[in-house]
Amino acid sequence: MASFAVGGYLFFQRAYEESYRAAIPSAYGLGKRFWRSDITFNPFQGCGIGVFDLDPRTIETIKRGGLAYLLSLPKRTARERWEGTPAPEHWIDNEIGEGDGWCYEGLDTQIFAKLKAAASRGGSYYTVEQVWHDRSSPLLLVMPEDGLIAYRWQ
């Protein structure tokens, strides 16, 4: 019985990872390591974040090409727009916060600290698709110095 429960748990963990992978175009070169935290109230409400390491070739390409390289990749939606960090303080507060919200509840604290630091300093890039007048979702944050990419939805 315990092996059935463990198998089910692993199945759902893999399904979550694949759903985050599917949300990020393959051109970004995702690595194998994955961290996530999410909460779903129903199929239409919830929030979450998935963080992957980037393939070393992708990291070097982003470092060399910067924003121009990211703009050359396929857009996820027509409304997607990229900006370089540092992000405005109000954006960091609204989009990343202090890590104490439900969406970040299970995220490794060191990974969260890297997200916040990357948004606050130069050298990283983020995209926001405006969905509501006061909130934006989903978010990609590409952090070449840390070798990470984050996808956040709400």
Residues of the chain whose pLDDT is less than 50? 4-6, 9, 133
Give the helix, strand, coil percentages of the chain, each rounded to 5.
Answer: 40, 30, 30
- Residue 136 CA, distance from chain mean position: 13
Residue 8: the pLDDT is: 52
pLDDT at 15: 72
CB neighbour list of residue 132: distance below 8 Å, 6 or more residues apart: none
Q: What pLDDT, on a 0 to 100 scale, did the predictor assign at position 105?
A: 74
Can you give the pLDDT at residue 5? 47
| Per-residue model confidence (pLDDT) at position 147 | 95
Across-strand partners of 48? 38, 153
Domain edges within the chain: 2-153
* Cα–Cα distances in angstroms (integers) from residue 69 to residues 51, 60, 61, 111, 142, in the given order: 20, 11, 8, 25, 12
Question: What's residue 40's pLDDT?
Answer: 62
